[in-house]
């Protein structure tokens, strides 16, 4: 059972409920044509980011994936700025330069996704090296998906992290599909977690519908990294409730797969059932959180939709760190 | 004034920056214990220790990826990619990550890193280890690109590159590593990025060049003088951002421009300055902007073929003479006139 306090658990529920509500609403708004560009929704995977991020401080660096909204919220990024970024607004987290997939927030230790999907592991090596060299006490967490693990850069990064004993935790969210291709088809060797053994680091597989399992695995890996014992790999088994991207016809999976996951593998419902059954939190206070969150999400979307776009005269900004 | 070989000057530049700033770290294949395959990091491991000078496995994606991660979190990595061709396995980390993160984060992070690599033909390294590949990088806003050829330039520009808060690709012709030259060590020897150097003054034609074609252009200018043609030689030094002002000022005066490049004619780095010179000075030019390049062929292994592949001072001289005498672009040696 988790070692978190009642207050921390209530906060974890709030974080997950916020992620869920944010994405459910995003799904509706996207379908209505109000969301520009391209979005990948995190609904169904909330316990992964929440369980991992509950073990991190502001000194730690989380290298995000392109399925970025949930982990950004879990890392404590301003949800209003997150929404505005997705809506391309000038007050967005990255002033409209990053978009849905590249949410970045230095002060909360949230690093923008790298688009090549597996590179977070290599970048994480560098962030871990910098933390150790500079003595910040921080660690790096590279969040990647199952689709990334067959990229060479992941193997290179795992190897480098191991030989240099870097304070790095690699979290692989296995949602069963690399875009539209099944993980079972694409991944050789009997599973992702097993690959850790080849690099001489602990590798565990946890149920991503179980917040407590994720939290405990992440706690152990973070602790190991902080103690200078080197990197670890955690494979979190999750199910995404929506497609790879919004608009994905999902012809590669059965129609009822996501519905069944909502019934049987919903991390929020599981969390609620556990904490209520164990008498840690009561249903009433969780309901209150849900109400609060619903109100927050209404305000977040209303504000994002009304926010101004970046001014045209800012087009040439942020290309170089100093003026040329 | 000390004299150094270019590889010693590179080592000295890294060493001096490491001594001044303890966030500067070095990583790459064989850079620590072996001192670099081209001896560009000799002694750094002994002086600064294994935490700051790190051998890596043959893992270019991890090298550049780690450099990007470290650069965005407080270090100044100097990463070595042994041959420029090996950027082919890690362009993602350079072009899509290093060059984009400052922009994507609206300036919240900087990426102060240098990615050094050997370039160029002339040493019998064959088709896969002898290219210059500048144009792999030139179309990427966010990157800076430097190419050097002598000790003073390598020292001065590398120190600036390490101090720069942007990702810098630093290209070093492998044939030039042994070049001995006068140099100024210390703060006074530092040369700014983005500024071209006029190495020789002349009135009738500007030879614009970069990397190991600069000494070829200088030698050609000497030969041209004997033929009564006064040539100015400009070393561009930095390809992105490139120094338009110096180039346009020179060509506005000489009214002829010849770009001497070590890369295939199609898609070489000279297209960009050629296009700008043509657009800016169209009515004032006495001849078309001309490019002297290598042929559109992989770099040959055989020494005889390789020597023919590279522009020589004699060839540059004949091309420039023809241009000045006819006001038409001469055909390259490998093309029959139609």
Instruction: Please report the number of interchain residue pairs, chain A to chain B, with beta-carbon separation below 8 angstroms.
Output: 158
Nearest to B104 among A94, A124, A140 (CB): A94
Q: Which residues of A touch B245 (CB under 8 A)?
A: none
Q: Are B237 and B147 in contact (CB under 8 A)?
A: yes
| C-beta atoms of B61 and A122 within 8 A | yes
Q: Which residues of A touch B144 (CB under 8 A)?
A: 320
Instruction: Assess whether pLDDT exceeds 90 at residue A116.
Output: no
Domains of chain A: 6-77+106-298 (3.40.50.970)
User: DSSP secondary-structure letter at B94?
Assistant: I
| Neighbour count for residue A285 (Cβ, 10 Å) | 13
Å between A263 CA and nearest CA of chain B:
38
Side-by-side strand order, sheet with B144-147? B53-55, B24-28, B76-83, B114-119, B168-173, B144-147, B238-240
Query: What per-residue confidence (pLDDT) applies to A175?
Result: 96
Provide the CB-side half-sphere exposure for B224 (13 A, CA): 32
Q: Are B98 and B71 in contact (CB under 8 A)?
A: yes
Tell me the domain boundaries of chain B: 3-189, 197-326
* pLDDT, tens digit (0-9, with 9 covering 90-100), for B71-86: 999 999 999 999 999 9
Q: What stretches of B111-175 show up as alpha helix (H) in DSSP?
A: 151-163
* pLDDT, tens digit (0-9, with 9 covering 90-100), for A234-276: 999 999 999 999 999 999 999 899 999 999 999 999 999 999 9
d(CA B170, CA B157): 9
Q: Which residues of B touch A133 (CB under 8 A)?
A: 23, 25, 51-52, 70, 75
Instruction: Assess whether pLDDT exceeds 90 at residue A115.
Output: no
| C-beta atoms of B92 and A134 within 8 A | no
* pLDDT, tens digit (0-9, with 9 covering 90-100), for A121-145: 999 999 999 999 999 999 999 999 9
Å between B24 CA and nearest CA of chain A:
11
Candidates B149, B118, B111, B148; CA nearest to B41 is B118
| C-beta atoms of B52 and A133 within 8 A | yes
| Neighbour count for residue B321 (Cβ, 10 Å) | 18
Fold of the domain spanning B3-189? Rossmann fold (3.40.50)
Instruction: Assess whether pLDDT exceeds 70 at residue A278.
Output: yes
Tell me the average pLDDT across A144-173: 98
| C-beta atoms of A322 and B165 within 8 A | yes
Candidates B184, B113, B193; CA nearest to B148 is B193
Instruction: Assess whether pLDDT exceeds 60 at residue A1.
Output: no
Which of A66, A156, A161 is the mutation pick for testing B, counting most B CBs within 10 A?
A156
Domains B3-189 and B197-326 share a fold: yes
| C-beta atoms of B102 and A318 within 8 A | yes
* pLDDT, tens digit (0-9, with 9 covering 90-100), for B253-306: 999 999 999 999 999 999 999 999 999 999 999 999 999 999 999 999 999 999
CATH number for the domain formed by residue range(s) B197-326? 3.40.50.920
| C-beta atoms of A157 and B65 within 8 A | yes
Q: Are B31 and B41 in contact (CB under 8 A)?
A: yes
Instruction: Assess whether pLDDT exceeds 80 at residue A320.
Output: yes
* pLDDT, tens digit (0-9, with 9 covering 90-100), for B276-285: 999 999 999 9
Q: Are A66 and A119 in contact (CB under 8 A)?
A: no
Å between A188 CA and nearest CA of chain B:
22
Which of A88, A102, A123 is the mutation pick for testing B, counting most B CBs within 10 A?
A123
* pLDDT, tens digit (0-9, with 9 covering 90-100), for A187-214: 999 899 999 999 999 999 999 999 999 9
First to last CA, chain A: 56
Alpha-carbon distances of A216 from A230, B65, B199, rounded to whole Å: 18, 29, 65
Nearest to A115 among B74, B77, B96 (CB): B96
Candidates A193, A222, A194; CA nearest to A207 is A193
Query: What per-residue confidence (pLDDT) applies to B338?
Result: 60
Query: Facing residues of A182 across strands?
Result: A177
DSSP three-state, residue A1: coil
Query: Predicted confidence band at B336 (pLDDT cuts at 50, 70, 90)?
Result: confident
- Per the listing, tokens 């967490």 go with A141
Q: Are A250 and A187 in contact (CB under 8 A)?
A: no
d(CA B158, CA B164): 10
d(CA B233, CA A324): 24
| C-beta atoms of B72 and A123 within 8 A | yes
User: Rounded to 10 degrees, what is the CA torsion of B327, B328, B329, B334?
Assistant: -130
Return the ∠ at Cα B260 (arms to B257 and B263), rounded to 5°: 135
The verdict on whether B129 is a catalytic residue reads yes
Instruction: Assess whether pLDDT exceeds 50 at residue A296.
Output: yes
- Per the listing, tokens 């991992």 go with A52
Q: Are A236 and A171 in contact (CB under 8 A)?
A: yes
Share above pLDDT 70 across residues of chain B, in percent, rounded to a whole number: 99
Return the ∠ at Cα A221 (arms to A217 and A226), rounded to 5°: 145
Å between B163 CA and nearest CA of chain A:
12
Query: What per-residue confidence (pLDDT) applies to A81?
Result: 98
| ipTM value | 0.96
């Amino acid at each position: 059972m988790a070692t978190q306090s009642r207050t921390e658990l209530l906060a974890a529920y709030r974080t997950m409920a916020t992620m869920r509500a944010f994405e459910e609403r995003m799904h509706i708004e996207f379908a209505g044509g109000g969301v520009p560009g391209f979005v990948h929704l995190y609904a169904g995977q909330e316990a992964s980011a929440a369980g991992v991020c509950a073990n991190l401080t502001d000194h730690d660096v989380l290298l995000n994936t392109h399925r970025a909204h949930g982990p950004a919220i879990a890392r404590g990024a301003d949800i209003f700025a997150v929404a505005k970024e997705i809506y391309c607004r000038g007050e967005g987290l990255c002033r409209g330069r990053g978009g849905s997939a590249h949410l970045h927030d230095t002060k909360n230790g949230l690093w923008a996704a790298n688009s090549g999907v597996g590179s977070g592991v290599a970048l994480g090596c560098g962030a871990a090296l910098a933390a150790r060299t500079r003595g910040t006490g921080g660690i790096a967490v590279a969040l990647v998906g199952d689709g990334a693990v067959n990229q060479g850069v992941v193997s290179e990064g795992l190897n480098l992290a191991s030989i240099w004993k870097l304070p790095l935790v690699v979290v692989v969210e296995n949602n069963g599909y690399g875009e539209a291709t099944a993980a079972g088809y694409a991944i050789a060797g009997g599973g992702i977690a097993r690959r850790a053994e080849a690099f001489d680091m602990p590798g565990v597989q946890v149920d991503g519908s179980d917040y407590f399992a994720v939290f405990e695995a992440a706690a152990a890996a973070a602790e190991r990294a902080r103690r200078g014992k080197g990197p670890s790999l955690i494979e979190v088994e999750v199910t995404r409730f929506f497609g790879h991207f919004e608009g994905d016809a999902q012809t590669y999976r059965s129609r009822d797969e996501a519905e069944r996951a909502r019934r049987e593998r919903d991390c929020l419902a599981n969390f609620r059932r556990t904490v209520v059954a164990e008498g840690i939190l009561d249903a009433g206070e969780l309901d209150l959180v849900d109400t609060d969150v619903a109100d927050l999400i209404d305000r977040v979307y209303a504000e994002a939709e009304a926010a101004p776009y970046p001014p045209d005269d800012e087009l040439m900004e942020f290309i170089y760190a100093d003026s040329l | 004034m000390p004299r150094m070989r270019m590889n010693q000057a590179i080592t000295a530049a890294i060493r001096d920056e490491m001594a001044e700033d303890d966030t500067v770290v070095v990583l790459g294949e064989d850079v620590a214990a072996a001192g670099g395959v081209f001896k560009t990091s000799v002694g750094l491991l002994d002086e600064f220790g294994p935490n700051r000078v790190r051998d890596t496995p043959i893992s270019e994606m991890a090298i550049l990826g780690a450099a990007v991660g470290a650069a965005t979190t407080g270090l100044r990595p100097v990463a070595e990619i042994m041959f420029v061709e090996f950027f082919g396995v890690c362009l993602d980390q350079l072009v899509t990550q290093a060059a984009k993160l400052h922009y994507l984060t609206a300036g919240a992070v900087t990426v102060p890193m240098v990615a050094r690599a050997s370039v160029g033909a002339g040493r019998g390294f064959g088709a896969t280890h002898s290219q210059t590949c500048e144009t792999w990088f030139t179309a990427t806003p966010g990157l800076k690109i430097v190419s050097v050829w002598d000790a003073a330039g390598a020292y001065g520009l590398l120190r600036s590159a390490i101090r720069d808060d942007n990702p810098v690709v630093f290209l070093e012709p492998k044939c030039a590593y042994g070049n001995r030259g006068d140099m100024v060590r210390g703060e006074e020897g530092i040369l700014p990025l983005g500024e071209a150097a006029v190495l020789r003054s002349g009135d009738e034609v500007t030879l614009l060049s970069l990397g190991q074609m600069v000494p070829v252009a200088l030698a050609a200018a000497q030969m041209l003088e004997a033929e009564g043609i006064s040539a100015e030689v400009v070393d561009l030094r930095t390809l992105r951002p490139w120094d338009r002002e110096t180039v346009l000022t020179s060509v506005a005066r000489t009214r002829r421009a010849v770009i001497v490049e070590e890369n295939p004619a199609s898609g070489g780095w000279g297209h960009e300055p050629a296009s700008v010179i043509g657009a800016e000075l169209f009515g004032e030019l006495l001849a078309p902007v001309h490019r002297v390049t290598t042929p559109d062929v992989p770099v040959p292994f055989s020494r005889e073929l390789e020597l023919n592949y590279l522009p020589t001072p004699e060839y540059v001289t004949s091309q420039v003479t023809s241009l000045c005498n006819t006001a038409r672009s001469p055909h390259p040696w490998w093309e029959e006139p139609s």
